[in-house]
Amino acid sequence: MNETRRLFRNTAAQSAPVVTAFVFSFVLAPIMLSRLGLAQFGVWAVTGALAQYARLLDLGITNSLSRFVALYEANDDRRAIEQTVAIGLLAATAVGATVLAAAALTAPLVSDLIGVLDAAEMRVVLLSSAGIAVANLFAAVLSAVPVGMRRMGPPNVAMTAGNTTNFVASVSALVLSTELTTYALANAGAALVGLLLTAVSLAYVWSAPFVGRPSLGRAREIVSFGIKSQTVTLANLVNVQTDKLIIAAMLGPRTAGAYEIGNRIVQGIVSLGLLTLSALIPTATADLVKRGKEVISEYFGRYTVRSLAIALPMFGAVCVSAPYLLVAWLGEIPPDSVQIIVLLSMAFAVSMATGVAMTLTMSDGRPGLVAQTAILVVTLNLVATVVAAPIFGLWGVLIATVGAEIVASTIFLVRFNRLYGLGARALADGVAGPTAVAVLAALPFGLWYLLGGDVPDERGPAAIGLLATGGLYALICWVVESRLELLPERLRVGSLRKLAPILRRR
């Protein structure tokens, strides 16, 4: 099986847990709002953000492991893989002990800052959030081996089963109780089940021994790479989670809850968009070992246009259908939520344009360039937020996020093209086509809203409006991108004609 075909299959395998997580999150949100209320929903969003920050303590090691597994597997060095797993487990253990202790000790302070829950209840929620983050950290270490070996089926089956367990536990907790503490404990228990399933998937793919005593040189190499790559995670947290914390502190947990509604929709689209890149790092790493630097230009030209042709219409469909989507989903349009969805979609759509380039840079063992870009995003976002938030409130926070992404992404792409000698034409070929299609297809819908297009206030008619706007927009993009050959061949309109005779024979 060639690498392109393997990449397609692994990307497809990666889709199941992402899609199920998105669908389950989408279904859960209105149930949570109905049972817990917007204030407790906002508290869960904020404590989840704090737990995500705690993951920074692993120095980026767990997110880097699959790249090193792919590198060592390509060189047929099993002992190096065993050492890599050991380093990941040590990092996760250290972070876990620190995070759980911090959650227990800081509960009174967080309770005073946010309100809604007393110190004892907040401690339960914080410990549950921390436990979920730690379980996910260990799961990332264990799944790094099959992912790095490009055998992504078993770990993704495990993650999908874990998502299903979490959904069942969440719904059960919400049916039985309106207390956030009950919901938090149910999610923590489900995370432990997911960790056990991931361990089973590792044993299925790879035989013992699973770990080996790491050398100092190996640890230094992985930690150095991880620290540089960690800044990307930090940038994502600043652009999303810090905004949430600032909004909660300035405007209260209810506004943070409204922000989380819009953010949850956009992050679901981001996750779906990133599926196009989910299997690229280990695949490109192994290919670089075998074929050399020619892989960079080949992969960049092929996958940038295809990933954007898939991702950008998803952002556009959400934007043009946002009012209908919110009514069909929640039964109402929370204040400012449509604008939040549009602005966050703009920010992350711009960020997606750098996805393939950043992935290839990491695969080539150059995390420094990505780290510098992430630091720039953090700096720009924080400075702009400090200046704009006191003046414009919520809008200052959102505009700072969009502006930081646009400036930093542009600078990164210019540096990437210069480093690998691709030229401005390569960037234009990759970005211009999908961007033009996504923007031009959205113009008629924007005009409809400007002319005062009505949005029904009942779920049934809103669902019809959702299909009429988002569905029609997606159909237009699909047909046009197929004609322009921007999409992968298997996803083009013509692929259905090729598939029809096969289905008839069956």
* Statement: residue 49 has pLDDT above 90: no
pLDDT at 41 over 90: no
Of the candidate ranges 20-24, 165-169, 284-288, 422-426, the one whose mean pLDDT is the lowest: 422-426
Mean pLDDT of 30-59: 79
Residue count (the chain): 506
DSSP tally for the chain: helices H, then strands E: 20, 0
Cβ count within 10 A of residue 62? 27
**Distance between CA 498 and CA 436 in Å, rounded?**
28
The two structure tokens encoding residue 504: 């008839």
Is residue 503's pLDDT more than 50? no
Q: DSSP string spanning 257-313? A: HHHHHHHHHHHHHHHHHHGGGTTHHHHHHHHHHHH-THHHHHHHHHHHHHHHHHHHH
Average pLDDT over residues 23-52: 80
Structure tokens of 445?
């819908």
d(C-alpha 13, C-alpha 279), whole Å:
9
State the Cα–Cα distance between residues 51 and 53, nearest whole angstrom. Answer: 5
Query: What are the pLDDT digits (tens) for 116-130?
Result: 788 898 899 899 988
Q: Which residue has the higher pLDDT, 215 or 189?
A: 189
| Model confidence band, residue 164 (pLDDT cutoffs 50, 70, 90) | very high
The Cα–Cα gap between 231 and 228 comes to 6
In this predicted structure, which of 279-293, 344-358, 433-447 has the lowest mean pLDDT? Answer: 279-293
Structure tokens at 340: 């939040």
Place of tokens 């060639």: 2
Which pLDDT score is estimated for 456? 84
Sign of CA dihedral 327, 330, 335, 340: negative
List of E strands, 168-288: none
Distance CA 167, CA 323 (A): 26
* Cα atoms in the Cβ-side hemisphere of radius 13 Å centred on 441: 30
Q: Which two tokens stand for residue 60?
A: 């980026």
Instruction: List the structure tokens of 249.
Output: 């502190």
Tell me if 211 sits within 8 A of 82, measured CB to CB.
yes
The whole-number average pLDDT for the span 354-382 is: 83
Residue 358 binned pLDDT confidence (cut-offs 50, 70, 90):
confident
State the pTM of this model: 0.67
User: Under a CB-based contact definition with an 8 Å cutoff, are residues 160 and 185 in contact?
Assistant: no
501: pLDDT strictly greater than 60:
no
* pLDDT at residue 274 tops 90: no
d(CA 43, CA 178): 14
Selected residue with higher pLDDT from 480 and 41:
480
Mean pLDDT computed over 326-355: 85
pLDDT at 113: 78
d(CA 34, CA 178): 9
382 pLDDT tier (thresholds 50, 70, 90): confident
Residue 36, both tokens: 């817990």
Confidence of residue 5 (pLDDT cuts 50, 70, 90): low
Average per-residue pLDDT for the chain: 83
pLDDT, greater one: 73 or 38 = 73
Lowest mean pLDDT: which of 229-233, 266-270, 325-329?
229-233
Determine the average pLDDT of the residues in 194-208. Answer: 90
User: Is residue 96 over pLDDT 80?
Assistant: yes
The tokens for 480 are: 């046009």
| pLDDT score recorded for residue 188 | 93
Distance in angstroms (rounded) separating the CA atoms of residues 279 and 359: 10
What does the DSSP 8-state code read for residue 242? I
**348 torsion bin: left (phi>0), alpha (psi -120 to 50), beta (else):** alpha
The contacts of residue 373 (CB under 8 Å, 6+ apart) are 235, 354, 358, 408, 409, 411, 412, 415
Higher-confidence residue of 261 and 190: namely 190
What confidence category does residue 394 fall into, taking pLDDT thresholds of 50, 70 and 90? confident
pLDDT higher than threshold 80 for residue 7: no
pLDDT tens-place string over residues 407-461: 988 898 888 888 888 777 777 777 888 999 999 999 999 888 888 777 888 888 9
Q: Domain boundaries in the chain?
A: 1-224, 292-490
Question: Side chain identity at 105, as an amino acid letter?
Answer: L
pLDDT, mean of residues 221-233:
80
Tally the C-alpha atoms within 13 A of residue 300's C-alpha that lie toward its C-beta: 27
| pLDDT value at residue 1 | 45
Taking residues 304-309, report their average pLDDT.
Answer: 88
Three-state secondary structure of 16-39: HHHHHHHHHHHHHHHHHHHHHHHH
Mean pLDDT throughout 211-228? 86
Computed from CA positions of residues 345, 66, 13, 93, in that sequence, does the dihedral angle turn out positive or negative? negative
pLDDT at 241: 64
Max distance between CA atoms of the chain, in angstroms, equals 67
Q: Please, what is the end-to-end C-alpha distance for the chain in angstroms?
A: 25
Can you tell me the distance from the alpha carbon of 433 to that of 108, in angstroms, rounded to the nearest whole number?
Answer: 53
Taking alpha carbons only, the member of 373, 362, 130 closest to residue 236 is: 373
Identify the weakest region by mean pLDDT among 85-94, 430-439, 490-499: 490-499
